[in-house]
Structures are given as C-alpha cells and as structure tokens.
Amino acid sequence: MLSLPTQDRLSAPVPSVFPAVRAQVGLAPYTSFRVGGKAEWYAEPRTEEDLQACVAWAHSQSLAITMLGSGSNLLISDAGLSGLVISTRFLKQFALDDQAGRVVVAAGTPLPALSRRLARRGWRGFEWAVGIPGTIGGAVVMNAGAHGGCMADCLVSAQVLGADGIELWTPEQLDYGYRHSSVQGSDYIVLSTTLQMEPGWDPELVKAQTNQALRARKTTQPYDLPSCGSVFRNPLPESAGHLIEAMGLKGYRIGGAKVAERHANFILNCGDAKAQDIFFLIRHVQEMVRDRFSLNLHPEVKMLGEFQPV
C-alpha cells in the first residue's frame, strides 16, 4: 500500500501562479473506469505555462509526475498514486491554419469534440476519432486509432516538454507503431500537436461520415457501463476480442468487474467494482488465452499504482 504523505510534504510550498495544487484528491471521478484511490498531490493547470510551473514544482520536491487526460485508458490502483498527478482537462486551446489545412490543438482537447469540429468545417482526416473517449495528448502517446485511421496518418509534429525544455518532435522521432510511440515510458510530456487535415470538402458529407463512424462503434461496443475502452492490444492478425470470446469469457465476472457481452475486449465496472477486481479479471483473461492459444495478450490499458499479485 502507498503511504500517506508526510507532514513535511503536505506543508511543502506550492507556487501561486496556477490553480492550487491539492493534496489527497480521489481519482475515481477522473477515470472512465470510475475506480482508483487518491492522488498524493493533484493539479489542473489552465495553460502550458501553468503546466510547466507544476512540473518545476514537482521536480523541486522530488515528486513523481503522472499525466492524466480523460482517464479513458487508465486503471489506477485502489491504493492511489504517490507524487503529483497533473490533469490536462482544461488545456483545450485550438488554432486553425485555413490556408495550410492544419490544426494545432492542446493536449487536453477531447478527440470526439475535435472530430466533430473539423467535420463541421468540411475538413476530412479525423472522422475515425469521433468515438474514442480520449484526449489529443493520450492519442499522441498511444498512436490511438480506429476504423482504419490513426494519429500517425495525420500528425505533423508534437510539442513535448522534457528535462531540457520544450521540443518539437517529428513523426520519425515519435517512432510510431501499433498503439506505440517513443513517448511511452519516457519522462516527456505532450503539450500540443499539429495535425494535417484535408480541407475543402462538403461539411454535410464529412459530418455524415463522422456520424457513421460513431454509429459503427456504438453498435459493436458497450457504452452503458464504465469501461476503459479496449483492454488488450490485438495480437495481429488475431483479434483480442475474438480470442476472449472463443474462451467463453463473455459475461465472466470477478467482484464488480465483468467481461462485456457485446464486445469481449471490454471490461465493465458493474457499479461496485474495485480496481483490484478489474486487475484480477485482466490477469485471468490473459492466463486463459495464453493456456489455450499460446498467445500473450498485452494490455492496451495502462495500469498505475500498486496492485496485489494474483
């Protein structure tokens, strides 16, 4: 279990140039699973300058930093997280370059909102993102994708914050692969990204294609209960959902967590799940598929904090 902050750390001074850093903030409301313990420290910067001040303060206090976007691809342990959790949910700045057909968006911009906004302008290239409940920052890190499209298809550059300041990374530096980038597992923080779109299309056509992508997602995936989206990466050319379904695991339940009946690559919080229930269910699914098919299912969901071993 994580220890509570010491009195010295609770009394550590915080800078006044951004909204107050708060201690012992519950994280469950900020994740799509609706589970998870408390953050030792929590901040919601409103600007990139605020975010940089948060990072500088955390470094001055020797605190680990965890970035939190929409919380849609995270499983945070019931024990919570030590260090500083920085939410990007207020970082939604947006700028268009009509002549170049490019859009610059801050890390906290929700993917569905951006997809719809671009569709209304008749800009193609982001229809696939309308049903992904994440943010631009997380999408850059994960190379998020759906319906045959992904971030690697449209990303021009990403502005990231590292130990030496702000850097501009190219797609080559991001080294994109299937649900992978070189930012993963690093200390770099995505601040914003520039995307190349295809302007000049009939807005009604692009909106129709965007709505079609959303309908396709809603008819095949569960949206009625909290989840993180797809739990496992597809072990290409196989489908994780098909493998789990073949094991007869649809509806299988541990505590308040169960494998969705509509799509087996989803795990649902039935209302009273703990993060530990979901963790145990993930491990059970992995074990069953490995024993039957000799395949390892790698989680797409990022698990943070300490979990009890199976």
**Mean pLDDT, all residues of the chain:** 93
Q: Quick one: pLDDT at residue 92?
A: 95
Six-digit token string for 271: 């209302």
Q: How confident is the model at residue 14 (pLDDT cuts 50, 70, 90)?
A: low
**Single residue among 40, 67, 87 that ends a domain in this structure:** 87
Pair 123, 212 in one domain: yes
Strand order of the β-sheet with 165-169 is 94-97, 102-106, 189-196, 155-162, 165-169
pLDDT band of 112, cuts 50, 70, 90: very high
Please tell me whether residues 56 and 137 are part of one structural domain: no
Q: Quick one: pLDDT at residue 37?
A: 98
Q: Is residue 13 reached through a cis peptide bond, with omega within 30 degrees of 0 on the bond before it?
A: no
Name the region of 122 (left: φ>0; alpha: ψ -120 to 50; beta: rest).
left
DSSP state of 297: P
What does pTM read for this prediction?
A: 0.92
The C-alpha atoms of residue 156 and residue 33 are separated, in whole angstroms, by 32
Distance of alpha carbon 41 from alpha carbon 70, whole angstroms: 18
What is the arithmetic mean of pLDDT over 126-132?
96
The DSSP code for 162 is E
- C-alpha 303: how far from chain center: 11
Q: Out of 40, 48, 127, 300, which one is annotated catalytic?
A: 300
**140 and 204 share a domain?**
yes
Q: Single out the residue of 237, 236, 233 nearest to residue 285, CA to CA.
A: 233
What is d(CA 188, CA 190) in angstroms, rounded to the nearest whole number? Answer: 7
pLDDT of 3 higher than 60: no
Same domain, 122 and 210: yes
| Structural domain containing residue 173 | 94-219
Report pLDDT for 20: 74
- One of 179, 192, 217, 227 is an active-site residue; which one? 179
Q: Which one of 87, 109, 141 terminates a domain?
A: 87
- 213 and 174 inside one domain: yes
Q: Determine the pLDDT at residue 10.
A: 43
Q: Which helix (H) or strand (E) holds 265?
A: none
Is there a domain that residue 21 lies in? yes
Told to judge if 3 belongs to the known catalytic residues of this protein, a careful annotator would answer no
169, 204, 219: which is the final residue of a domain?
Answer: 219
Residue 249: predicted pLDDT: 98
Are the beta carbons of 161 and 179 closer than 8 angstroms? Answer: no
Active site residue 115: no
Residue 196 lies in a domain: yes
pLDDT digits (tens, 9 = 90+) for 202-259: 999 999 999 999 999 999 999 899 999 999 999 999 999 999 999 999 999 999 999 9
Find residue 180's DSSP bridge partners.
177
Residue 17 has pLDDT above 80, yes or no: no
pLDDT for position 11:
44
How much is the pLDDT for 6?
Answer: 37
Can you tell me whether residue 217 is helix, strand or coil?
Answer: helix
Q: How many domains does the chain have?
A: 3
In a domain, 25, yes or no: yes
Residue 28 above 70 pLDDT?
A: yes
300 is catalytic: yes
Once rounded to an integer, what is the mean pLDDT over residues 182-196?
A: 96
Whether residues 239 and 274 share a domain: the answer is yes
Q: Parallel, antiparallel, or unpaired: how do β-strands 302-304 and 74-76 relate?
A: parallel
User: Is residue 1, in this structure, part of any structural domain at all?
Assistant: no
What's the pLDDT tens digit per position in 258-309?
999 999 999 999 999 999 999 999 999 999 999 999 999 999 999 999 999 9
Residue keyed to tokens 């989680």? 299
